[in-house]
Structure 1
């Protein structure tokens, strides 16, 4: 359609586990606690259709996706952000912005009351999309992407917000850091990695792991590992115990956002994997738990998060020389 500036444009930014290609996923998500919902929802990333640079700079932006909120703050567009997701936590400045719901519960009235001129909506939000279109409001839809989409989006947001130079700098820094990591680990054997995104507490049931597409799979590769489920073309897979045994990972990494798993649970959890003693990762005591929203939010901290993976997989490569 016409993306001219006089028209009111709304971008409702969202990503989440509701789009995972896994059996029974919808039922699990709807019945899960907020903690588990956060673990699974933060890791999916989507990429927007190309923005029209002629549309003018956006001055009032509503971002329902924490990843995009981080991008906007990183490129110097924080003053242009007028509303954020209920789940946005980083940077700390987001706490001064109004909350407008999230993927499953966008508060349309609240969004409209903020008079935004930029929002991005996920294609799964059909009801909200309909409301916007019936009101004559344009909607840009997102689709799933990879690390390359993160830097592409940074550059696109820079154009849209008038922060082109800063956005290009941030994107280039990410790409440079990732290449440096790849080079640093290139001479080491690539371990087979099981990256666990979530599971039932205190048991190895309902395991969700990274599949062969998406930014998390890209991070494993850049960090010098081989995803044991790289052959499955999905952002997430739900293997049973037999599938995990057959995958035979050399390293198991479980990731969590801060606050979702208490510290005492994090330190005690490795013993749970002892129920699968035939796994090389268990035999070699290479089961790790990493916490931090940088690990699950596909935003400007992705290079630093990848370095955390690399230091876990190849600690020798990062020892002081």
Structure 2
């Protein structure tokens, strides 16, 4: 999903809380690790108990309610670019037979003209999927697929980094890649902890503005991407915007100049997009500290708008800028 398109911002804002995975029997305990269904005789956290093995049927609680997958899927259609990245990252990429038009990563993803925003059920079914993954349920996608016997899992846009971990574990459970998903989550947590440790404990406060598009739409700390900045020690100028409650306010040039951010991050670059020189040349922006100190940083719009494994890459970028700024403050 590309948050650089303001019309899609509401989809992120509508993200629902996620719950933990429950494997095996319907009355089994929930497990965040996505391991086998726990029982009185087994401990899914103990490798000796077979916690890395796939267990079917498996039931997970998602944005569209409990979903049961009776057998390990062999043909998956992904209508979410984030889900596509997750599936390949946990070793389930070989089962993905089709991905939506935004699924441009990894390179081997089977990108098609399928849309996750205006899904064509007939076209989806044409790939003979035994599982469909999406980030929303437009046009009664789930019920339409159910009528032809195809289960669908809705993994709504993440609100916190824990949601990312949970979704990876859920996908691991429904694809039979429990161990790989758990390993990836553990590695991400380790990498993120190491990155956060790089931020000096005594670093002076630093403010930022994250640009979604040239119309000055941005994010607040209440959003997923805003949380990542906060983890890295940044203060978001948009939190004080008049319409910040929705999470994706549109700032006025006057507000932004007055807020005077230390760094401008922009995610509306790329082919045909803005460049740092465009931002620096905006009327009045020469008064902003970020412009005066040449701290205008481009971020990959895909990495900055998806909540999959590459959030580590995004955090690395913003932490590098945070530590660099701290060194001269």
Aligned twin of 2:51: none
Alignment deviations for residues 238-289 of structure 1 (CA, whole Å, 9 cap, x no partner):
111122134331211112464353xxx5253242345233333233332222
Check conservation: 1:72, 1:78, Cα contact below 8 A. Answer: yes
Identify which of 197, 203, 207 aligns with 1:183.
Answer: 197
Cα deviations across residues 161-186 of structure 1 (Å, max 9, x unaligned)?
Answer: 11111111111111111111221113
Of 77, 99, 104, 2:92 maps to 77
Match of 1:170 among 160, 179, 184: 184
Tell me, what secondary structure is at the counterpart of 1:314?
A: helix
- How far off is 1:105 after superposition? 2.6
State whether residues 263 and 289 of structure 2, in contact with CA within 8 Å, keep that contact through their aligned partners in structure 1.
Answer: yes
Report the counterpart of residue 77 of structure 2 in structure 1: 62
| 1:116-170 CA distance string (max 9 Å, x none) | 1222344450343453355465544444422221111111111111111111111
* Larger Rg over CA atoms: 2
More helix by share: 1
Residue 41 (structure 1) shift: 9.5
- Structure-2 separation of matches of 1:129 and 1:242: 44
In the alignment, structure 1 segments of 5+ residues that lack a partner are 1-14, 30-36, 200-205
Q: How does 1:1-321 map to 2 (within 5 A)?
A: 15=1, 29=7, 46=15, 50=20, 52-54=22-24, 55=57, 56-94=71-109, 97=110, 99-123=112-136, 125-135=138-148, 137-145=150-158, 146-187=160-201, 188-199=203-214, 206-230=215-239, 232-256=244-268, 258-261=270-273, 266-273=275-282, 275-291=284-300, 293-315=302-324
Residue 128 of structure 1 aligns to a residue whose secondary structure is: helix
Contact kept, 8 Å, 1:100 with 1:111, in 2: the verdict is no
Q: Deviations over 1:12-35 (max 9, x none)?
A: xxx5659x9xxxx5xxx4xxxxxx
Aligned equivalents of 1:256, 1:288: Cα separation in 2: 11
Please say which of residues 137-146 and 170-179 is displaced more in the overlay: 137-146
Partners of 1:53 and 1:216 in 2: how far apart?
A: 30
- Whether the aligned pair in 1 keeps the contact of 2:86 and 2:309 (CA below 8 Å) is yes
Contact 1:121 1:129 in 2 (8 A): no
**What TM-score, normalized by structure 2, do the two folds share?**
0.73
Instruction: Provide the alpha-carbon RMSD of the alignment.
Output: 3.2
Q: Which has the higher contact order (CA 8 A, sep 6+)?
A: 1
Check the 8 A contact 2:208/2:236 in 1, yes or no: yes
1:64 deviates by 1.0
How many residue pairs get aligned? The number is 277
1:74, CA displacement in angstroms?
0.6
Structure 2: give runs of 5+ residues left out of the alignment. 25-56, 58-70
Q: Displacement of 1:208 after TM fit? A: 1.1
Note if contact 1:257-1:293 (Cα within 8 Å) is conserved in structure 2: no
